[in-house]
Structure 1
Amino acid sequence: MAIPQWKEVSTEEVEAIIKTQPRVQLIDVRELAEYREEHIKEVTLIPLSQLEVRHDEIDRNQETIVICRSGNRSSQACEFLASHGHTKLSNMTGGMLAWQGNISK
């Protein structure tokens, strides 16, 4: 059986999705210190280091966008989640380094 893949979405696409799809899950996989510096208001923090024990907190039936600093850890998180049955996944390319939208501190 093939492992489900995920989509790559730009920061601009994520901004549009947030405005038009209020039920989308945004999962930030950075560590707490990075999250505290700045984050997208609507995200849920589940650091990559905790994903293995917390992945059941993510609804498999909802569209999910995974976010990190640059797009590398979020890609790893998508790979992990896909291997655990998540199919509605997107990786935000460029991560928070490329994010131009609103942030919370």
Structure 2
Amino acid sequence: MSFEEDGIVQIKEEEIQQLLKVGAKEPILIDVRELEEYSESHIPGVPLIPMNTIPSMVADLDRSSSYVFICRSGKRSQNVALYLKEQGITNVRNFAGGMLSWNGEVKQGLEWVVKHSGELYQDKTE
């Protein structure tokens, strides 16, 4: 089901759905869109690390973990994956099609935003 583009494995919605269904700890799903996009609609339980903050977060990412990056269409998340691969974080994947192709459950609001310093903002009002 997955395929490769520019050396980055591309995964589809069905694979993300399966990861969520089984509660997989890895790969770690990360949304890289802007705050406004994430607040409007995101996959429940997936944290936001805006693309422009990724360079300042590289040192905080566990190099032994695997990651899947998510954006609106799959282009920004592909660029994040390529960038991190260049930084030595090699187990990175991209959600091909991004949120435009997502038909699963969504949530509104700023549920889980990772700030520049690595601090987390989690909205626990459910």
TM-score, normalised on structure 2? 0.74
Give the superposition deviation at 1:55. Answer: 2.5
Structure 1 residue runs of 5 or longer lacking an equivalent are none
SS, match of residue 44 in structure 1 = coil
Identity among equivalent pairs (%): 38
Give CA-to-partner distance per residue, 1:7-57, whole Å, 9 cap, x none: 100011111122235212111110000000011112121111111112233
TM-aligned CA distance change 1:49 to 1:56, over 3 Å:
same
* Cα contact 1:6–1:87 (8 A) shared by 2: no
Give 1:12's aligned residue: 14
Structure 2 residue runs of 5 or longer lacking an equivalent are 1-6, 109-126
Aligned amino acid, residue 34 of structure 1: E
Give the superposition deviation at 1:97. Answer: 0.6
Task: Tell me: higher relative CO, structure 1 or 2? Use CA pairs within 8 A at least 6 residues apart.
Answer: 1
The runs of 4+ residues in structure 1 deviating greater than 6 Å are none
Aligned counterparts of 1:15 and 1:55: Cα–Cα separation in 2? 27
Larger Rg: 2
Give 1:57's aligned residue: 60
SS, match of residue 94 in structure 2 = strand
TM-score, normalised on structure 1? 0.88
Aligned counterparts of 1:27 and 1:58: Cα–Cα separation in 2? 11
Alignment of 1:78-97 (within 5 A): 78-97=81-100
Aligned counterparts of 1:83 and 1:43: Cα–Cα separation in 2? 24
Count of matched residue pairs: 101
Q: Which of 63, 77, 80 is the aligned partner of 2:80?
A: 77
Give the superposition deviation at 1:65. Answer: 0.6
